[in-house]
Structure 1
Amino acid sequence: MLLGWIVLFVAPVLVSPLAYEAQPPSFSGISGLLQSVDTRQLTNETLCERQFLAVVSGLKEKEFWSIELVDSWGKWPAGIFAGNLYELGHYDQCVDLRHDAGELAGTIQGRYCFLTVLLKGLLPTSRIMPGTSGDIWAARLGACIPAACTGDHFLQLLNRTVLNLPPVHMGCNEIPVPLGGAQAAAIAFFATIILIALASTLYEIVARCRRRTPHRNLIIFSLVTNGKKLLATVNRNRLEPDAGKSGTIECINGIRVISMVWVVFAHNYVRIGMQPLHNSKVIGPWLQSYHSVLVVASTVSVDSFFLISGLLTCWSILNMLDKRGKLNLPLMYAHRYLRLTPALAALVLYSATLMTHSGSGPFWDSAMTLTATNCRTYWWSTLLYVQNYVNPRELCLGHSWYLSVDMQLYLLAPLLIYPLWRWGRRVLLVIAALTVGSMVCVLVLFLAYDLRLSFLAVDQDRLRHVYTYYPTHTRAGAWLVGVFVGYVLQRTRKHYVLLPRWAVATGWTLATAIILAILFGDHPLQQSDYASLPLAADAIYEALNRVAWAGAVGWIIFACVNGYGGPVNLFLGAAIWQPLGRLSYSIYLLHLPIQLMMAGVARLPFYFTDLQAAYQFWGDIGFTVTLALPWALLFESPVIGLERILFGRSRNTTASCPGSKEETIEPAKQDVIPKTLSLTLQTARL
């Protein structure tokens, strides 16, 4: 049967106008199959059957529109042994097809489908793509059928009218529907925001041209004012301890941006995995090589964000408690929600309404299923920051689980940080216990559900993500390390912590060793014989790596703040990171939907090499930053001014998400402990 399908598609229909006029084409492949249909088996009852008969009749009469429809089909791909399992045909030629077939059949429109042909017995029974659920290879061929038919209906017609048809599966894209009321409302919303921003900008320009001071409430949405703040850089020289300790943690911007770039880099490879590949057979060896370590171990980049979140949250709350002795929790939570939600809500609105209408392609429907469909159903759990528990398998915006975890930890932060302020170092034991508890949760869940870290492992139900990747209780470890680092830095904010050289050298050596161990420690778990390794190896690695990574990055921050960073601090504290750091929240929000959309519009298979992937990544990051700038200006920057109107003045609570605008910490008095003062005396302040 498989041989029959190969013969069917190996001889494509090649038709040109000149050949058509010179002599009737010798039909073969799918054209010959359709011409062999026994029309006596059809009842002509449904529109699908009538249009199907019109196609068959058109092919027999050599009508050009029917040949155009058949020519849109994919032919049998070359290089299936190299993993070239997709032949997409011509998507646009198919969907652009229109033909008036008369009163009974109506207007025939092309519908793009995929015909899946199993290759059982032809190729080795080993999976070559991560995350797949079976060990049987299959070729997927583009097909074009009348829009009145579904894939199942079309195959039923073929099975009724063609003898000895091999078993195949056909799935079809939906026919695009016109814009409705929800889409019109979304367009009106975005248009209103843009018009307000333009009006505010124009008002400021006119006022300044007339040498008048514009009213600050009328320039909340001004692109000029907000753009200056967003792109501003401040050069600080904190290289010499005698200059006084900085009131800012300057290295955080560099860490934040590098972590953000790492996330986009890794998700670029996920996007490549979603696309058809000319050489998908190389994916397995690539995963087992050292080339893949930055992608395979990239999940710890999120733990850098959790570390920063815990650090800034602890710093901010301790500062408020030192100043006022109490917390205004409703105001603090409202501030936090207002800072995070507008940009997220705008993206959810776009995803639920307009994203489906923003493109088309062979994989567009499947890409939209990952975002648009879920956002229509679960927009509320996204905006309430509970989707990591409520609907973890059907996330609206697959990367927004992080925001749910971060918000939940922020809500719980006062329960931990207030006792830390009240009773001091004794509460650090509680933090340590909670950190260990989070690690134990990961360990136990990995063992209980037989979870594996290998990308080659089957995880149809996404159990690893549902039980150990998305939940707050399994991700809290890195955040708690951040709370500890934030406590140490806040309590020593007026003074440098002096360390002997051996302690500094030991700290940097351990931090470097931990980072390298985490990057390369996952490599043995990605080999083809991963199943022969004890399950405990995966469980222990996953339980330790998040907290260990946070500890290593925490040391880097501590060392940079206290003058032990050297060239690392110069690099991470460079002024260039400041505007990118402010943009990183919008970059984080936008990058994955953009990558999904680009995967959905792909018309051709991608030839995978690391060089091609890197080239595509720089296109991703450049395009995302370009869109993140107006997104931040429209949906992030104005919130600060709106808060001033709502609450009367700016609040000093830190939004510790990626791209927080408040990386400038409350200035400290410029006291410097003499170098002769002992380390014991300094750390006693903790």
Structure 2
Amino acid sequence: MMDASSKIQAGIYFGNIADLGSFDECLRIRNEEEKIKGKYCLAKLDIPMLHNGSNDNEETDSHSTYDHKMRWSICVPDGCTAEDVEAHLNSYDQNLNFTLKEDQCQTIESQLKLNSSDWIIIGILIGLACVILLSTIYDIFLHYITKDPVHPLTVAFSWFTNFKKLTQINNNSDVLPCLNGIRVLSMFWIIHSHEILYASESPMINMKEAKEIWLTHIWSLFTLSSSVATDTFLFLSGLLIMYGFLKSRAKKIPFNIPIFHMHRYLRLTPSYAALIILYLTLYMKLGSGPIWETCNQRLQDNCKEFWWTSLLYIQNFVNADRVCADQSWYLFVDMQLYILSPLILIPIDKWPKIAPYLFGSLVAAFTIIPTTVAWYYDIQVISTNRVINDWNKIYYGQVHTRGGPWMIGLVLGYILFQTKHKKIRINKILAAFLWLFTVLAILYIIFGIYPKFDFQYSKLYSIIYIGFHRNVWALGLCWIVFACVHGYGGPVNWFLSLSVFQFLAKITYATYILSEGFQNYNRGILRVPVVFKNFYFLKSFFSTTCFCTVLSIIWVLCFEAPFGIIDGVIIKAVSNIARKENVKREKVKQDT
């Protein structure tokens, strides 16, 4: 037990304030003769000298393990309580201030076991696997005898057909291939930034270096400014909604609002619901470690209490600080904007002449609103939920503060549709100037606020930056997409339109919802503190990206692709019913 317990570690003043001992060794201790088993406890020790240079009043993130207190593990007999261990640790010196609660202690018996709900989910997964196997075998059989399936649902779960669709490359320029590269690169940026953010909330060997050196370096802004990557997703969502709507109206396809909304819900929900079910049941049994429950228990607790608000896509309004999955705020905003989009699409379709005025007023509104929110709540240039309480509810996860890029995407979708059969001629000097302006604007949004620690920005600067930078980012993307579509993209268009991006773009949604769970898992199973170095993050980025790519392919084949086919069948059936009802109404009108 002494061997499994912590010793005084080197580099305490360098930020090495967590020694996790030997977790697995402690839990495996078993003395049958004396009936003693190992009990691992992770105590906190408050040392005032470690607070020097830190803001003691600063709020910590709800899932951060960083609070300027030392972590020391101690392995004791399982008969000892947390109170016994705390009293024992503090008995060495009256100035010591060890704190320990029972939920910070673990034994081999306290490790989570499978319960009835877990076995039910395992049974459902086995059933799903059987359906996938039978559907795939049937599909392969039909392929060799060159016959069509009896019904699309019979091959909905076939990995054979679904994988072919997943890897199929569409060379039609009307699908706007440059969007794939933008989508995938944004996803990579999010993964990279989350790797660093999760590491910053983990025990570190060099915490002082991370805070005083890395955080003040200009390159740290590549991580701290990465929230605009999700603005890219909102921009692309708005663009594709408008472009797809105008294409369908040009083909005289009726616009049915309930079907429009139903399609979106069925498109997003199965994969997301599967993730929530995983968090509710099996996820907590998949790992263990000194900080496993500290990092991950909140996921299960939040999902148990608020799963219904997540599936209704309203949790950015209801308990916004206790989301079931950290990244799901984007799904809520996107879904709510999608639901509201007919209020813009229908007037544009009926009265095209109002388009410039409607677009202009809405873009202006989505600029004024976040500017006003930034002024009212005194939001700084870079703020997080460590600085502002109810961060998601006030600003970060709300439609009225994040809708600007989506609105600008709608505008570009309208412009691209109106100009897709036209030859757009732009002076080469003007095109070069627009590229230069776009690059400079993007670089300023990412790096322009440096040095944020050495200079006190004024409230006016913060208000202007918060109010405008997301929309300026979207405007920069507008030129990139427009230039690529109309032949002014050059090597940028070639790169963004690579076939590999088209494949990866198809699994981006699955990657987005799964990546943070995997990163949380990695953080929870830590046995030793991490080293906060750029090369470490580079390695972890590539490993996370590769693993999540494989996991996302499986997730798409199991949930997204099959339910996409089911969605198509349902939408077709509902559309046929609606069409028949319209025919009946027309006949009644004619008869009267």
Q: TM-score, normalised by structure 2?
A: 0.89
Distance verdict in 2 for CA 1:75–1:458, change over 3 Å: farther
Q: Is the 8 A contact 1:128 1:283 kept in 2?
A: no
Which residue is equivalent to 1:314?
242
Select 1:278's aligned residue among 199, 205, 215.
Answer: 205
Select 2:494's aligned residue among 548, 570, 573.
Answer: 570
Which residue is equivalent to 1:93?
25
Distance verdict in 2 for CA 1:128–1:597, change over 3 Å: farther
Q: Is the 8 A contact 2:280 2:300 kept in 1?
A: yes
Deviation at 1:506, TM superposition (A): 2.8
Which residue is equivalent to 2:365?
437
Which residue is equivalent to 2:73?
142
Which residue is equivalent to 1:658?
none
Which residue is equivalent to 2:386?
459
Which residue is equivalent to 2:14?
82
Letter in 2 for 1:138: K
Which residue is equivalent to 1:412?
340
**Alpha-carbon distance in 1 for matches of 2:55, 2:569:** 58
Kindly indicate whether residue 222 of structure 2 is the aligned counterpart of residue 294 of structure 1.
yes
Mean CA deviation greater in 124-133 or 431-440: 124-133
Post-superposition CA distance 1:173-224 (Å, at most 9, x none): 5622321122112212222222211111122223334554444432111111
Q: Is the 8 A contact 2:40 2:73 kept in 1?
A: yes
Q: Is the 8 A contact 2:263 2:571 kept in 1?
A: no
Kindly indicate whether residue 117 of structure 2 is the aligned counterpart of residue 182 of structure 1.
yes
Deviation at 1:291, TM superposition (A): 1.9
**Alpha-carbon distance in 2 for matches of 1:158, 1:364:** 23
Distance verdict in 2 for CA 1:404–1:458, change over 3 Å: closer
Structure with more contact order per residue of length (Cα contacts < 8 Å, sep ≥ 6): 2
Deviation at 1:650, TM superposition (A): 11
Post-superposition CA distance 1:465-487 (Å, at most 9, x none): 33111011100000000010011
**Alpha-carbon distance in 2 for matches of 1:392, 1:433:** 29
Which residue is equivalent to 1:392?
320
**Alpha-carbon distance in 2 for matches of 1:84, 1:128:** 18
Q: Is the 8 A contact 2:59 2:387 kept in 1?
A: yes
Which residue is equivalent to 2:552?
628
Q: Is the 8 A contact 2:44 2:69 kept in 1?
A: yes
Letter in 2 for 1:459: R
Which residue is equivalent to 1:469?
396
Letter in 1 for 2:528: L
Deviation at 1:130, TM superposition (A): 9.3
Select 2:451's aligned residue among 516, 524, 530.
Answer: 524
Deviation at 1:497, TM superposition (A): 2.5
Q: TM-score, normalised by structure 1?
A: 0.77
Post-superposition CA distance 1:629-666 (Å, at most 9, x none): 11000111112321233233799xxxxxxxxxxxxxxx
Deviation at 1:589, TM superposition (A): 1.0
Kindly indicate whether residue 493 of structure 2 is the aligned counterpart of residue 493 of structure 1.
no
- Partner of 2:351: helix, strand, or coil? helix
- Partner of 2:360: helix, strand, or coil? helix
Which residue is equivalent to 2:581?
none
**Alpha-carbon distance in 1 for matches of 2:29, 2:272:** 38
Which residue is equivalent to 1:192?
127
Select 1:204's aligned residue among 139, 154, 157.
Answer: 139
Kindly indicate whether residue 528 of structure 2 is the aligned counterpart of residue 604 of structure 1.
yes
**Alpha-carbon distance in 1 for matches of 2:436, 2:56:** 38
Deviation at 1:551, TM superposition (A): 0.6
**Alpha-carbon distance in 2 for matches of 1:620, 1:473:** 33
Deviation at 1:318, TM superposition (A): 2.2
**Alpha-carbon distance in 2 for matches of 1:647, 1:482:** 26
Q: Is the 8 A contact 2:13 2:50 kept in 1?
A: no
Residues 522-561 of structure 1: pairs in structure 2 closer than 5 A: 522-525=449-452, 527=453, 529=454, 532-561=456-485
**Alpha-carbon distance in 2 for matches of 1:146, 1:135:** 28
Distance verdict in 2 for CA 1:129–1:356, change over 3 Å: farther
Which residue is equivalent to 1:151?
82
Deviation at 1:411, TM superposition (A): 0.2
- Partner of 2:42: helix, strand, or coil? strand
Distance verdict in 2 for CA 1:148–1:412, change over 3 Å: farther
Select 2:308's aligned residue among 380, 401, 404.
Answer: 380
Deviation at 1:147, TM superposition (A): 4.6
Letter in 1 for 2:119: A
Distance verdict in 2 for CA 1:155–1:460, change over 3 Å: farther
Mean CA deviation greater in 458-467 or 295-304: 458-467
- Partner of 1:309: helix, strand, or coil? helix
Letter in 1 for 2:160: V
- Partner of 1:196: helix, strand, or coil? helix
Letter in 2 for 1:91: F
- Partner of 1:126: helix, strand, or coil? coil
**Alpha-carbon distance in 1 for matches of 2:94, 2:397:** 48
Letter in 2 for 1:116: K
Distance verdict in 2 for CA 1:115–1:313, change over 3 Å: same
- Partner of 1:140: helix, strand, or coil? strand
Q: Is the 8 A contact 1:126 1:135 kept in 2?
A: no
- Partner of 2:309: helix, strand, or coil? helix
Kindly indicate whether residue 161 of structure 2 is the aligned counterpart of residue 231 of structure 1.
no
Letter in 2 for 1:141: W
**Alpha-carbon distance in 2 for matches of 1:559, 1:128:** 50
Aligned residues: 565
Post-superposition CA distance 1:298-339 (Å, at most 9, x none): 110111101000000111222333334752111111111001
Cα RMSD (Å) of the superposition? 2.6
Letter in 1 for 2:567: E
Distance verdict in 2 for CA 1:136–1:635, change over 3 Å: closer
**Alpha-carbon distance in 2 for matches of 1:460, 1:499:** 46
- Partner of 2:205: helix, strand, or coil? coil
Kindly indicate whether residue 571 of structure 2 is the aligned counterpart of residue 647 of structure 1.
yes
- Partner of 2:532: helix, strand, or coil? coil
Post-superposition CA distance 1:64-112 (Å, at most 9, x none): xxxx2x332211221112111111101111222334577xxxx544333
Letter in 2 for 1:641: I
**Alpha-carbon distance in 1 for matches of 2:553, 2:56:** 39
Q: Is the 8 A contact 1:303 1:550 kept in 2?
A: yes
Rg larger in structure: 1
**Alpha-carbon distance in 2 for matches of 1:400, 1:522:** 28
Residues 223-262 of structure 1: pairs in structure 2 closer than 5 A: 223-235=159-171, 246-262=173-189
Post-superposition CA distance 1:578-624 (Å, at most 9, x none): 11010111111110000000000011111121111101110110111
Structure 1 spans left out of the alignment, 5+ residues: 1-67, 237-245, 652-686
Kindly indicate whether residue 516 of structure 2 is the aligned counterpart of residue 595 of structure 1.
no
Q: Is the 8 A contact 1:361 1:602 kept in 2?
A: yes
Which residue is equivalent to 2:432?
505
Residues 157-168 of structure 1: pairs in structure 2 closer than 5 A: 164=94, 166-168=96-98
Post-superposition CA distance 1:37-71 (Å, at most 9, x none): xxxxxxxxxxxxxxxxxxxxxxxxxxxxxxx2x33
Deviation at 1:353, TM superposition (A): 0.8
Q: Is the 8 A contact 1:361 1:601 kept in 2?
A: yes
Kindly indicate whether residue 278 of structure 2 is the aligned counterpart of residue 350 of structure 1.
yes
**Alpha-carbon distance in 2 for matches of 1:91, 1:358:** 16
Distance verdict in 2 for CA 1:152–1:477, change over 3 Å: farther
Give % identity. 31
Deviation at 1:460, TM superposition (A): 5.7
Q: Is the 8 A contact 1:643 1:650 kept in 2?
A: no
Distance verdict in 2 for CA 1:605–1:127, change over 3 Å: farther
Deviation at 1:163, TM superposition (A): 7.3
